[in-house]
Every structure is written in structure tokens, then in C-alpha cells.
Structure 1
Amino acid sequence: MSRVHKNDNSEIITNNLNYIEGNSNNNLKISKILYHEQKGFCCYTEEYLGRADARDIEHFNPNLKGTDKDSYSNWFLVKHQWNKEKATKWENFQPILLPTDDHFNDRIIYDYGDYRVSDSVDKQAQNLISLIKLDDLILAEERKKYIRRKREEIQKFGESAEEFFKILIEDDIKQISYLRAIQEEFKIDIWNVIPQLT
């Protein structure tokens, strides 16, 4: 996971959209905007959200949901499973690092497929890792296998890493996962290689 950048000019803000419990038409608009802003990727797992993937508007601080303080800065599009697993545990992981924190990538370090805190006394960062399962062993192993496969494919095809990922994106963006892992392992700015959705 990388720091999440929120857009000051988001359509959610400019159109003054509010999440309304039970109003699927309204909330679908928000979901579509978040999907475009996140270029189709789950905010937590950094896996592509395909058509068949159940996805949720995640209210990062669930205590704000349904209140006047709930807003765009608290909303992220995530895979349903990760939202469901987080739902009842919020109070057990306080204080917590916000996904939008300016120093997120310095406080939570990518370490060859794993995520860890850069400072062992950073309780906020450790709580975020635990709450949204950035340290999930199965997901970490999937990241590691993905990177190994891509490294082998890059060597086999003889392309630069950036050119290789551009080809994958043009062919089928669902072949791209684990954006921060790609960035750290291959030293490319994958976020800016992925085109903005239209």
C-alpha cells in the first residue's frame, strides 16, 4: 500500500456528493468516481478491481459514517473482503495512521514483499498494518510470487521494466497488481505509467 493522494478537485467535492446509507444510485456515483481516481485499483491490496470483484466504499473511520463529519477524505474504494474483515475491529487499533498521511511511505516501508514500520515505536503505523492486514501472510506471498514472475518475464522478453509494464497495461490492465511493490522492486513510477481512466 502507498500513501493515498486525495484530489482537491474531485468530482465528489465539486458536485457536493454525500454518501447516503441505502441510496445505491447516489453511492454508485461516488464509487465510480473513486474507481477512476484510484485508476481501478483497491486502495488496500493494490490489486485491480475487475468487473466481478465485489467492491465497497470504505469509510476508513467507521465512526464518521452517517455523520456530518463523514466526507470524501474518509472514503476509499476497496475489495469487499478487506472492508468486511476490518469492519468490527476499528476500536482495537487506535491511534491509527491515516492512508493520506504525508509521511505514510516513510512510516510504512515496503520490504521485499512485506510491509513493516520504519520505527518500532510508531504505534499508529503498526496499528494500520494490523487493522487492514498489510501483514497478511497470504497476501504478502502473493506479492512476492507476482514480483518473481514479473522479474522472470522481464528477463525472458528482454524489455526494460517500464516498457514491459506499459505493454502489460496496454494488453490487459488486470495483469497489474501491487503497485508499490512494482515501484520499489523495479524503480519505476508505475502510478504515472498507468493511464487515467476515461
Structure 2
Amino acid sequence: MRRVIKNDDSEVKKSNLGYIEGNSNNNLKISKILYKEQKGFCIYTEEYLGRADARDIEHFDPTLKGTSDDSYSNWFLVKHQWNKEKSSKWADYQPVLHPTASDFNERIVYDDGDYRVSELDDQEAINLIKLLKLDDIILADERKKYIQRKAKELSIYGVSPEDFFKILIDDDIKQISYLRAIHEEFKIDIWNLLPNPQ
């Protein structure tokens, strides 16, 4: 997972949209905007949200949902399964690091396929890792295998990492996963290579 940067000029804010429980038309507008801003990727898993993927507007702090304090800064588009698993654990992992924290990438570091805290006493970062299951063994294993496969494919192609990932993006964006891992392992700005969804 990487730090999330929220747009001050987001269409959500410009249109003064608020999440309304049960109002699918309104909430679909928010979902579509978040999808564009996130370039089609789940904030938590960093996997592409394909047409068949169940996705949710995640209220990072679920205690704000339905209150006047719930807002754009609390909303992320995520895979349904991750939202479902997180929702019942919020109270158990407080205090927690917010995904938009300016020092997020320094406090939660990528380490050869795993995410860990940079400071062992950073309880907020520890809690976020546990809350979002960033240390999930299966997901970490998938991330490591993905990076290994891409490294092998890259050596076969014989092009630069940037050119290689541009080819994958142009061919089928669903071939791209684990954005921070790609950034860290291949030393490229994968985020800015991704197209803005229509």
C-alpha cells in the first residue's frame, strides 16, 4: 500500500457530494469519481478493479459514516472483501495511521514484498497493518510472485522497466498490480504511467 493523495479539486468536493445511505444514484457518482482518481485500483490491495470485481466505497473511519463529519477524505474505493473484513475490527486497532498521512511511506515501508513499520513503537502504523491485513501472508506471497514473474518477463523483453510496464498497460491494464511494489522494485513512477480512466 502506498500513501493516498486526495485531490483538493476533486469532483466530489466541487459537486458537494455527500454519501447517502441507500441512495445508489448519488453514491454511484462518488464511486465513479473515486475510481477515476484511483486510476481504477483498490487502495488497499493495489489490484486493478475490473468490471466483475465487487467494489465498495470504503469509509476508512466507519464511526463517521452517516455523520456530518463523514467526508471525501474518509472515502476510498476498495475491493468488497477487504472492506467487509475491516469493518468489524475498527475498534480493536486504535489509534490508526490514516492512508493520507504525509509520512505514510516513511512509517510503513516496503521490504522485499512485505510491508513493515519503520519504527517498532509506531502503534498507529502497526495498527494499520493489522487492520488492513497488509501483512496477510497470502497477499504478500501473491505480491512477491507477481514481482518475480515481472522481473523474469522484463529480462526476456530486454527493454527498460518503464517501457516494459507501458507495454503491459497498453496491452491490458489488468496485468498491473501492486503499484508500490513495482515502484520500489523497478524504480519507476508507475502511478504516472497509468492512464486516467474515462
- Counterpart check, 1:161 vs 2:161: yes
Match of 2:60 in 1: 60
What is the match of residue 180 of structure 1? Answer: 180
1:101-145 CA distances to partner (integer Å, 9 max, x unpaired)?
000000000001100000000000000000000000000000000
Counterparts of 1:140 and 1:52 in 2: how far apart (Å)?
23
Shift of 1:2: 0.3
Distance in 1, matches of 2:191 and 2:94, equals 30
- Which consecutive residues of structure 1, in runs of 5 or more, have no partner in the other structure? none
Following superposition, the deviation at residue 195 of structure 1 comes to 1.6
* Alignment partner, residue 190 of structure 2: 190
Q: Which runs of 5+ in 2 are unaligned?
A: none
For residue 24 of structure 1, what is the aligned residue in structure 2?
A: 24
Aligned to 2:78: 78
Residue 110 of structure 1 aligns to a residue whose secondary structure is strand
Whole-angstrom distance in 2 between the partners of 1:16 and 1:166? 35
Cα RMSD (Å): 0.4
Q: Deviations over 1:25-47 (max 9, x none)?
A: 10000000000000000000000
Deviations, residues 29-73 of structure 1 (Å, cap 9, x unaligned): 000000000000000000000000000000000000000000000
2:14 is equivalent to residue 6 of structure 1? no
- The code of the aligned residue for 2:165 comes to F
Question: What's the offset of the Cα at 1:9?
Answer: 0.3
Q: TM-score, normalised by structure 1?
A: 0.99
Partner residue in 2 for 1:118: 118
2-side partners of 1:193 and 1:52: how far apart? 24
Report the Cα distance in structure 1 between the residues aligned to 2:139 and 2:68, rounded to whole angstroms: 35
Residue 149 of structure 1 corresponds to which residue in structure 2? 149
User: TM-score under structure 2 normalisation?
Assistant: 0.99
In 2, Cα distance between the equivalents of 1:89 and 1:157? 44
Q: CA-to-partner distance for each residue in 1:65-93, whole Å, 9 max, x for gaps?
A: 00000000000000000000001110000
| Distance apart, 1:196 and its partner CA | 1.6
Separation in structure 2 between the aligned mates of residue 47 and residue 197 of structure 1, nearest angstrom:
15
Q: How many residues align?
A: 198
